[in-house]
Structure 1
């Protein structure tokens, strides 16, 4: 099974912020790996886009995009969902109207 977590923090030196929820996700990820699951952590609100591996957990940093008037759209739930699906399928997704294809 493939499991993703979407969080604003993760306890790793490459990430910009970490606190309680990040540590909880880290510990849960380790337990899931021991059960043979594949785990990906998507950390939003970061200073750059980056993907790295942390003890068999794939960590994907998502840059906080700031563009006057467009930031809410660029950092929306749909864009985060797109990043999750892209991460597991390794495919670039496109939008057709309100549908992701």
Structure 2
């Protein structure tokens, strides 16, 4: 495992946002959703997430998530992903979202 400095960690802008829209993404190579996420004063960002096997669209709507906002944008099929939603792989190799334990203000920095 490569070690990073504290200064490197500070460069990563991880924020909390609320999912305000969830759409199917049939053009993605692997099953995914198109997410629209509200980051408060930082605005609305879009992201693609391969989380269809553990989360329904209804489960995701209104859920707070953590995401990297200063990750470079990425073109996925006909969609531009503007942030990276964070999750971890469980024992079945499915992505589990990293979410705050309690509801907090959108746009708050994770530190």
Higher share in helix = 1
TM-score, with length taken from structure 1:
0.25
Greater RCO, CA 8 A, separation 6+: 2
